[in-house]
Amino acid sequence: MTSMPTRWHRVGRGLQLGLEGVAGATLFAMMLLTTADVTGRFFFNSPILGAVELTQLMLAGVIFLSLPVVCWREEHVSVDLLDAIFPARWIWLRQVIVNLIVTAALWVMAGRVWALGVRAFDWGDVTEFLRIPLGYLIYLMAIMLALSALLTLMRAGGYVLEGIGLLEHGGPLSPGGEA
C-alpha cells in the first residue's frame, strides 16, 4: 500500500503531464496550422480561412494550460534584487508571503475572467470569421487561473511546513530544494 504523500505525488505528476501534454499538442497543432497557412499563402495564393483566429485561440490555450505548472514549479519571471541580502533561514517566510500574494491575485483574476465568460455566453460572443463561441475558452482560462491559485496556496503551505520544521524542503526555492 502506498503512502498518502506518494499518492499525492502521483496525482500531481499526472496532472502536470496531462496539462503539459495538452498544451504541447495545442502548440504542435498551432505550428502545423501556421506552416500550412504560410505554405498555402506563398505557393498557392490561398491562405487558410480563419487561421489567424485559430492561432489566437490556440495561443490562449497554450498559455493558460501551462500556467498551473509554472505556478507549481515557481518558474515565474522574477527579479532577485533582495536574494543576496535575504538570510537563507528566512527564505521560507519570503516564499509564503510571495505565494499568498500570487494566490490572491490569481483568485481575483479567476473571478473576473469567469464573469467575462458568463457575459460572453449571455451576449453570444463568437469569433469574427469562424463564429466559434468564445465563452468556452474564457471558462478554460478562469478554471486554469483558479487551479493556479490553488497550487500557489498549496506551495505556500509547503513553505509554512518547512518553516515549522515538518518538511525539509517546502518548494523549489528552499535552500537545497528542487531547483
Instruction: Please give the helix or strand (H or E) that residue 128 lies within, else none.
Output: none
What's the CA gap between 115 and 156, in Å, rounded? Answer: 27
Phi-psi region of 126 (alpha: psi -120 to 50; beta: other; left: phi over 0): beta
- At residue 176, the pLDDT reads 65
What's the CA gap between 73 and 39, in Å, rounded? Answer: 38
- At residue 174, the pLDDT reads 72
Is this model's pTM higher than 0.85 or not?
Answer: yes
What's the CA gap between 160 and 16, in Å, rounded? Answer: 23
Q: In this structure, what DSSP letter does residue 57 have?
A: H
What count of other Cβ atoms lies within 10 Å of the Cβ of residue 61? 21
- At residue 179, the pLDDT reads 47
Q: How far from each other are the two terminal CA atoms of the chain, in whole angstroms?
A: 30
For residue 77, which phi and psi values (nearest 5 degrees)?
-70, 130
Residue that the C-alpha cell 515557481 belongs to = 74
For residue 113, which phi and psi values (nearest 5 degrees)?
-70, -35
Q: Which of 110, 102, 115 is nearest to 156 (CA)?
A: 102
Q: What is the pLDDT along the chain (179 residues), one digit of tens a residue?
A: 566 567 767 877 888 899 999 999 999 999 999 999 999 999 999 999 999 999 999 999 999 999 999 998 888 877 777 777 778 788 888 899 999 999 999 999 999 999 999 999 999 999 999 999 999 999 999 999 999 999 999 999 989 988 888 877 777 777 765 54
- At residue 153, the pLDDT reads 95
Q: Is 56 helix (H, G, I), strand (E, B) or coil?
A: helix
What count of other Cβ atoms lies within 10 Å of the Cβ of residue 79? 6
Q: Where are the alpha helices (DSSP H) in the chain?
A: 4-43, 51-73, 91-123, 135-163
